[in-house]
């Protein structure tokens, strides 16, 4: 005898268990519908993307959640400035411009660091994958360190870029501890030049182990085509000539910068 189970389409069971769930947007309080088989969703009103776990962990009321979210972002700004950043700002990931042409400049004319570390082209995913990756985030911490331009051409350059990577990694770590589990930091400059200048090879690339500096070394923004000059404009900061690793302004100040993607 044929049971009712035998008559059911085999594909219908999983589908029948997929239902929509409603969450409150942490940015604008609008209702967000996310299906049970999705990891997150975008607010229909403010277009901010949230992971479901982030919305589920939100405290009792939407206003409390909003306050808590804002407080965390403010804390990240304070952390950046307390660690040595001249300025830091929260920006929407929707304003991050990714240019294939900028990434191509790592290869032609060839950057002296091209291919030397796991964090630089051609060993990173590049602009196309980065653009897709960006879709998973809604906010970012953008920060800069201002220095006299001559520092970029002095023996202090390495220390400057070390500080830059350390601040970026520090913000990423703080963000993860706050619950932004997928926070991802990027910095200017090649980590080979900054951290592994005394070694003939990048250990991670040589296949002889993991990165020597996992706590600090972060991928270079250039290889992903991140348009740093546009980020300066968005943050309302003084812009100037965009060099490979820095922005130099007319008043003989140079800025190096980093970016940390958060939810
Ligand atoms: S081992 Fe050195 S060069 Fe390689 S990714 Fe780590 S810091 Fe960069």
Question: What tens-digit pLDDT sequence spans the chain (263 residues)?
Answer: 444 444 444 444 544 568 888 888 877 677 888 988 899 998 887 778 888 888 887 654 555 655 678 889 999 999 999 999 999 999 999 999 999 998 998 888 888 889 999 999 999 999 999 999 999 998 999 999 999 989 988 999 999 999 999 999 999 999 999 888 899 999 988 999 999 999 999 999 998 889 999 999 999 999 999 999 999 999 999 776 666 566 666 668 889 999 999 97
Are 180 and 135 contained in the same domain?
A: yes
Residues near 37 by Cβ (< 8 Å), separated by ≥ 6?
Answer: 18
Q: What is the structure's pLDDT at 66?
A: 58
Same domain, 32 and 158: no
**196 in contact with ligand 1, CB cutoff 6 A:** yes
pLDDT, residue 241, reads 62
Q: Tell me what pLDDT residue 44 has.
A: 83
Specify whether 42 is located in the same domain as 156.
no
Q: Is 204 in the pocket of ligand 1 (CB under 6 A)?
A: yes
Residues 107 and 18 in one domain: no
Per-residue pLDDT, 31 = 82
Ligand 1 mean position to 80 CA, how many Å? 23
Cβ of 213 below 6 Å from ligand 1: yes
The CB of 124 under 6 Å from ligand 1? The reply is: no
Residue having the nearest C-alpha atom to atom 4 of ligand 1: 202
Q: Are residues 32 and 138 in the same domain?
A: no
What atom in ligand 1 is closest to the CA of residue 118?
Answer: 5
pLDDT at 43: 84
**Which one of 42, 58, 74 terminates a domain?**
58
* pLDDT given at position 58: 64
**Residue listed under structure tokens 């619950």:** 179
Q: Are residues 32 and 76 in the same domain?
A: no
d(CA 8, CA 15) in angstroms, rounded, equals 12
Query: Within this chain, do residues 48 and 110 fall inside the same structural domain, yes or no?
Result: no
The answer to whether residues 160 and 245 belong to one domain is: yes
Q: Does one domain contain both 227 and 128?
A: yes
Tell me the residue range of the domain where 8 lies. 4-58
| Number of domains within the chain | 2
Residues 10 and 78 grouped into a single domain: no
The residue from 14, 36, 58 where one domain ends is 58
Name residues whose C-beta falls within 8 Å of residue 230's C-beta, 6 or more positions apart in sequence: 95, 96, 97
Ligand 1, atom nearest to 217 Cα: 7
C-alpha span between 258 and 165 (Å, rounded): 8
Q: Given 58, 83, 101, which residue is the final one in a domain?
A: 58
Closest Cα to atom 1 of ligand 1: 211
Residues 154, 169: one domain?
yes
- Residue 90 sits in the same domain as residue 176: yes
């Amino acid at each position: 005898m044929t049971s009712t189970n035998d008559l059911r389409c085999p594909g219908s069971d999983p589908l029948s268990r997929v239902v929509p769930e409603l969450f409150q947007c942490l940015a604008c309080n609008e209702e967000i519908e996310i299906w049970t088989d999705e990891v997150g969703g975008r607010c229909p009103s403010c277009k901010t993307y949230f992971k479901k776990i982030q919305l589920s962990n939100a405290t009792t009321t939407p206003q409390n959640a909003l306050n808590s979210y804002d407080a965390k972002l403010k804390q990240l700004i304070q952390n950046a400035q307390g660690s040595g950043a001249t300025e830091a700002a929260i920006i929407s990931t929707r304003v991050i411009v990714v240019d294939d042409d900028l990434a191509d400049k790592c290869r032609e004319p060839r950057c002296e660091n091209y291919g030397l570390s796991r964090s630089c082209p051609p060993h990173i995913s590049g602009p196309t994958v980065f653009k897709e990756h960006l879709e998973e985030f809604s906010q970012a911490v953008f920060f800069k360190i201002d220095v006299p331009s001559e520092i970029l051409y002095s023996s202090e350059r390495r220390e400057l870029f070390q500080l830059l990577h350390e601040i970026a990694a520090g913000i990423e770590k703080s963000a993860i501890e706050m619950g932004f589990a997928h926070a991802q930091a990027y910095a200017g400059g090649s980590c080979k030049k900054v951290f592994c200048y005394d070694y003939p090879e990048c250990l991670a690339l040589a296949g002889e182990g993991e990165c020597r500096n996992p706590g600090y070394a972060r991928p270079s923004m250039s290889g992903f085509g991140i348009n740093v000059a546009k980020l300066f404009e968005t943050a309302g900061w003084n812009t100037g000539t965009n060099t490979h690793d820095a922005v130099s302004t007319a008043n003989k100040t140079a800025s190096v910068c980093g970016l940390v993607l958060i939810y």
